[in-house]
Amino acid sequence: MFISFVTIKGGKNVEKRETMWEAYLRRGFSRRTFLKGCVALTSLMGLSTDMLDKVVEAAETKPLPVVIWMHGHECTGCDESFIRSASPLASDLVLTNIALEYDHLLSAACGEPFEQHLEETVKKYYGQYILAVEGAVSTTNNGTYCMSGGKPFVDNLQHVAKGAAAIIAYGSCAAYGGIQAAKPNPTGSAGISHYVGTKQVINVPGCPPIPEVMTGVVMHVALFGKLPTLDSDGRPRQFYGNRIHDTCYRRPFFDAGMFADHFDDAGAKAGWCLYKLGCRGPETYNSCGNLRWWQGMSYPIQSGAPCIGCANANFWDSGACFSERLPKYGPLPDVDIIGAGLAAASVVGVAAHGALSVVQRHERDKAEAKENEGKEQVAGK
Amino acid sequence: MKAVQRKMFYLFSPFLRIFHWIMVDAIIVMFVTGILIAKPPEINALEPAQSMLLVNIIRQIHFLAAFGFCASFVFRVYGFIINKGDRLFPRFWEGHFYSETVDVALHYMFLRKAHKSYLRNPLARMSYFGLYVLVLIEVLTGFAMYNMSEPNAIGGLMFGWVNTVLGGEMMTHIVHHFTAWAIVLFASGHLYMVTRAEFMEGESEVSSMFSGSKILAHDPLDAKELE
Ligand code: SF4
Ligand code: SF4
C-alpha cells in the first residue's frame, strides 16, 4: 500500500524542508555517523542489508516527515517507553529523523499558542503529515471524559485525522481501548480505528509497546512513505507476526514439561516455563521474545514474570486471572474440578434413574401380565 | 410366555459405524491429552535435554487425534449419501418430531409408563444434534488456536476470526476447555441411555452400532422412513 505524501517538489504549499542528511549536517555530525544511523535503521525496520542503499537515498532526499503526536485517554506510559528507544535513540529520532510538530509530552510550548500551532500545522501540511496517536478515545457523554485544549479528544482526533497521510495507533489504548475499556467501561473507551474514517490505522499494541518497535514503525513510514506490511489486525507483521510462546527462550522447558508451579519454588528460580503461572505467551503476538526490552537486556518472562498478554485486544478482560490459566468464579474452583464434580453427579443421577427405571419396568410387566391374564380368562369363558 | 416375534431393521451403514467408533476413540484421546495440556504433569527432569519432551508429545497426539477426527467426517457424510438409514440431523421441520420428543421425555421422567417405539429415538437425535454443535465449537476454536502459530498463512486467515469473535485468544482456550467438559457430560448421559435402552427396553441401541441393524419386537412408528 503506497502513500505518496512525502514530496519535495510536488506539493504546492510545501516549503523546502530538511532531509535527514541535512539535519545531521546542521547538527555537525559526520557522514560516517549518518551512515551508521542508516544501517541501524535498516536492520531495525527488518529490512535486509541490500536495502541499505534505498534507506540512504531516502534519508538524503526525502524531507523529514511532519509528525503530529496526540495523546488521548491514557497514562502516557507509551511515551515513557518511546523515549527509551536505543536504536535509533529517541532523541535522534525526534531531533534529526522526523519533524515533530506537536506532542503534548515532549513539546516545550503549551497553552493557546501550542494549540494554534497544531491548527497551522494541520493546514500547512494537510494530507502529508503522519499522525501518531497514543491513548483511547472516550465516547460516553460526547467524549467529555477526555478533554484536551478545551475540546473532547475524540473531536480533536477526528479533525486532525482527516488530513493525515498515515495514522499510527501507539499502545493497546489507541489500538483497542486499553485498560480503561475493561468492563464495565464507564468512559466508553475504544480504539481509534473507528474514529478516523476509512483510513487504515497501523496498530502498534502493547502496554506499552517495545521502544524500538515504536521508533521502527514511525521510521518505516517516514523513510519509505508507505505502510509496513500489516496483518489482518493492522499490526506490522515484522513485529507482531509471532507468538511470544513460539519465540520464547523458555520454550524447551515447556516442551519438556518443566514448569514453575509457584513464584517461589525451585522451578521458578531455575528459570523454567511460566505456563502454569498463567503465562499468556501462547496467546500473545509481540516481539518480546526476539527483540526483548532495553536493548535486548531482558523481557518480563526472562525476569520471571509470566506474560500478561499486554499486546492483545481485551487482555484486561481475558477471562482468567493473570496468574492462572483457567478462570475461577467466586468461591467456586476451576472448571476441571467443577466438571469432574458434575461427571460424578451424573453417574449418581444415572444410577438413581436406572434403579427407578427397573422399578417402572417391573410395574409395567406386572400390569401387562395381569392384562393378559384377564384376556385369557375372557377368552376361556 | 408367548414367543416374541422380532423384526430386523437395517439402519446404520458401516461408514457411520466406523465414524462413530473413531469419534469415541478420538474424544477419549483428545480429552485426556487436552486436560494434560491445560494442567501439565510434573516431571522431575533436570534439563530439557534429559526429558522425554512430554508436553510436546502430548500436544502432537492431541493434534493427530484432532485431524483424524475431522477426517473421519468423510465417512459420516459418505454413509449419509449412500444409505437411507444414516441421517445427519433430526427432522426439525416435521411437526411430529416435537410431539414424539415430548413423548420420550415424559417416559424418561417417569411420567409415562412407556414411550412409543421409534427406530430413531427423537430425544436421542436431539442430543446428537447438540453434540454436533459442541464438536463444531471444538473444531473452530481448536483450529483457531492451532493455526495462529502462523497467523498470515491460510489456516490463520480461515480461523483467525474465531479469536476476534470470542474476544481474544485466551477466551478461545477457555471456551475450548469448557466445551470439552460439556462433551464429557454428554458422553456419560449417552452411555447410560443407550445401555438402558439396550438391556431394559430391548431397543438395540448398543448392538446396532456394531451390527448396523436394530432387532425389535415391535413395529416402530418410523419404520416406513427406511423404505
Ligand atoms: S514462559 Fe510463557 S511464553 Fe515462554 S514457553 Fe512458557 S508459556 Fe510459553
Ligand atoms: S511479555 Fe507479554 S505482557 Fe510483557 S510486555 Fe511482552 S507482550 Fe506485554
What is residue A281's predicted lDDT score, i.e. its pLDDT?
94
pLDDT 10s digits, A9-30: 334 445 667 888 888 888 888 9
A343 Cβ under 8 Å from any chain B Cβ = yes
Cβ burial, residue B93 (10 Å; 0-12/13-18/19+) = exposed
Residues of chain A with Cβ-Cβ distance to B54 below 8 Å are: 256-257
What's the fold here for domain A242-344? Cytochrome-c3 Hydrogenase; Chain A, domain 2 (4.10.480)
Residues of chain B with Cβ-Cβ distance to A233 below 8 Å are: 164
How far, in Å, CA of A268 to CA of A113, rounded?
Answer: 54
As a whole number, the mean pLDDT across chain B is 87
Whether B64 maps to a domain, the answer reads yes
C-alpha cell at A280: 499468556
- Residue nearest ligand 2's atom 5 by CA: A310
For residue B18, the distance in angstroms to the closest alpha carbon of chain A comes to 27
At A129, phi and psi to the nearest 5? -85, 155
Cβ burial, residue A49 (10 Å; 0-12/13-18/19+) = exposed
Whether B49 maps to a domain, the answer reads no
What is residue A378's predicted lDDT score, i.e. its pLDDT?
64
- pLDDT > 60? residue A269: yes
pLDDT band at A1; cut points 50, 70, 90: very low
Whether B50 maps to a domain, the answer reads no
Q: If phi over 0 gives left and psi between -120 and 50 gives alpha, with beta otherwise, what is residue A38?
A: alpha
Q: Give the Å distance between the CA of A308 and the centre of ligand 2.
A: 6
Whether B20 maps to a domain, the answer reads yes
The CATH number given to whatever domain includes residue B142 is 1.20.950.20
pLDDT band at B2; cut points 50, 70, 90: low
* Among candidates B171, B178, B201 on the partner chain, residue whose Cβ is nearest the Cβ of A318: B171
- pLDDT > 80? residue B35: yes
Domain hosting residue B125, numbered range: 7-40+55-86+95-222
pLDDT 10s digits, A174-231: 999 999 999 999 999 999 998 998 889 999 999 999 998 998 898 888 888 888 989 8
* Residue partners of A231: CB distance under 8 A and separation at least 6: A237, A240, A241, B151, B152
Cβ burial, residue B121 (10 Å; 0-12/13-18/19+) = buried
What is residue B176's predicted lDDT score, i.e. its pLDDT?
96
CB contact under 8 A, B189 and A327: no
The set of protein residues with a Cβ atom below 6 angstroms from ligand 2 is A 206, 244, 284, 286, 288, 299-301, 307-311
Q: Which ligand is nearest to the CA of A243?
A: 1
Question: Which carries the bigger pLDDT value, residue A91 or residue A191?
Answer: A191
Whether B24 maps to a domain, the answer reads yes
Which residue in B4, B28, B47, B55 has the most chain A C-beta atoms within 10 A of its own C-beta, making it the best mutation to test that interface? B55
Residue with cell 522425554: B52
Per-residue pLDDT, averaged over A244-259, amounts to: 91
Question: Which carries the bigger pLDDT value, residue A246 or residue A371?
Answer: A246
Per-residue pLDDT, averaged over A68-83, amounts to: 91
Per-residue pLDDT, averaged over B115-123, amounts to: 83
Q: What is the four-CA torsion angle of B40, B181, B151, A166, rounded to 10 degrees?
A: -110
Residue pairs between chains A and B whose CB atoms are closer than 8 Å: 129
Q: Could you say which of 3.30.365.10, 3.30.450.70, 3.40.50.700, 3.40.50.1970 is the CATH number of the domain covering A20-240?
A: 3.40.50.700
Q: How many domains does one find in chain B? A: 1
Residues 311-330 (A) with a CB less than 8 A from some CB of B: 312-315, 317-320, 325-327
What is residue A32's predicted lDDT score, i.e. its pLDDT?
92
- Chain B residues with CB under 8 Å of a chain A CB are 35, 38-43, 45, 48, 51-56, 108, 110, 113-114, 148-149, 151-152, 157, 160, 164, 167-174, 177-178, 181, 184-185, 188-189, 192, 196, 200-201
pLDDT band at B78; cut points 50, 70, 90: very high
C-alpha cell at A11: 506539493
CB contact under 8 A, B40 and A276: yes
Whether B18 maps to a domain, the answer reads yes
Whether B47 maps to a domain, the answer reads no
pLDDT 10s digits, A340-351: 999 999 999 988
> How many H helices and E strands in chain A?
14, 9
What is residue A278's predicted lDDT score, i.e. its pLDDT?
92
Directed axis angle between helix A211-224 and helix A31-44, to 10°? 110
pTM: 0.85
Atom of ligand 2 nearest to the CA of A293: 5
What is residue B44's predicted lDDT score, i.e. its pLDDT?
65
ipTM: 0.84
